[in-house]
Amino acid sequence: MYVYNPEKFASLSESELGQQLWSFLTRPENVARLETASELSKPAVEGIEEQLLEAFREEVLADRIKQMIGHMVRQILEQRGWLLDQGDVKVQSVPFMKAARYRRPDWFTFHAFRNTSDPRDVVITDRRQNAALPENARWTYYATFASPIKAAVAFGVHDLSQLRQQVHANGYHRVRVERMLRRA
């Protein structure tokens, strides 16, 4: 059972629409969608956009309603152990233009850079700017990740605590990302 503290949304949350939105957002399948989007390092509301529009149509297009939805989503995810990672992340969709992204408390953000002459040569560090990268190549920014799933699948890193130790000790960790599928 989730508890909502409406704070500045008190009157709106007590309305029929506010009650319906809370009921909608706390359904197990929608909580799972919020968490799935968060696991993928996407703003949580990206996981419910279609269902939200289908259920509420134009009612969710008003800015104040969208703000309350974000407020509700934050409280749901925080009650499930998620932390705010970044607010005002651009979302290219309807109804949201900006939204919050969440992370697990044990996640640590890493940044990956590719070698410009060999895109399979990747270094992972804990800084996006002023990172101490190997000097034997030119590096371009490639990606940010925090989830263990992305680390394992995209970069072949299965132990994030060991990766963190290596980055802390050396400034970076170098990996070779091989092609997964080959043409026949």
pLDDT score of 76: 98
Q: Which residue range(s) make up the domain with 34?
A: 7-103
In a domain, 2, yes or no: no
* Domain termination site, one of 103, 135, 158: 103
Q: Are 113 and 131 in contact (CB under 8 A)?
A: yes
Cα separation, 42 vs 89, whole angstroms: 9
pLDDT given for residue 90 in this prediction: 94
Which residue in this structure is represented by tokens 């026949």? 184
Q: Is residue 182 part of a domain?
A: no
Q: Is residue 32 located within the same domain as residue 92?
A: yes
Pairing of strands 139-145, 110-115: antiparallel
Query: How many domains would you assign to the chain?
Result: 2
**What does the pLDDT read at residue 46?**
97
Looking at the domain assignment, is residue 133 inside a domain? yes
**The predicted structure's pLDDT at residue 181:** 59
Specify which residues 176 forms β-bridges with: 121
- The pLDDT tens digits for 82-111 are 999 999 999 988 999 999 999 999 888 899
Residues of the chain with pLDDT under 50: none
User: By C-alpha distance, which of 153, 147, 142 is closest to 112?
Assistant: 142
* Nearest residue to 108 (alpha-carbon basis) of 157, 148, 166, 67: 148
Query: Is residue 97 domain-shared with residue 118, that is, in the same domain?
Result: no
State the Rg of the chain over Cα: 20
Contact between 46 and 7 (Cβ < 8 Å): no
How far apart are the C-alpha atoms of 24 and 19, rounded to whole Å?
9
Same domain, 98 and 15: yes
Same domain, yes or no, for 68 and 52? yes
In this structure, the answer to whether residues 55 and 131 fall within a common structural domain is no
Per the CB < 8 A criterion, the answer to whether 143 and 112 are in contact is yes
Q: How far is CA 157 from the centre of its chain?
A: 19
In a domain, 181, yes or no: no
Give the number of C-alpha atoms closer than 13 A to the C-alpha of residue 109, restricted to the C-beta side: 11
What pLDDT score does 31 carry?
98
Given this model, what pLDDT does residue 35 score? 97
**94 plus 12 within the same structural domain:** yes
pLDDT at 184: 58
- Residue 26's pLDDT is 98
* Boundary of a domain, candidates 39, 70, 103: 103
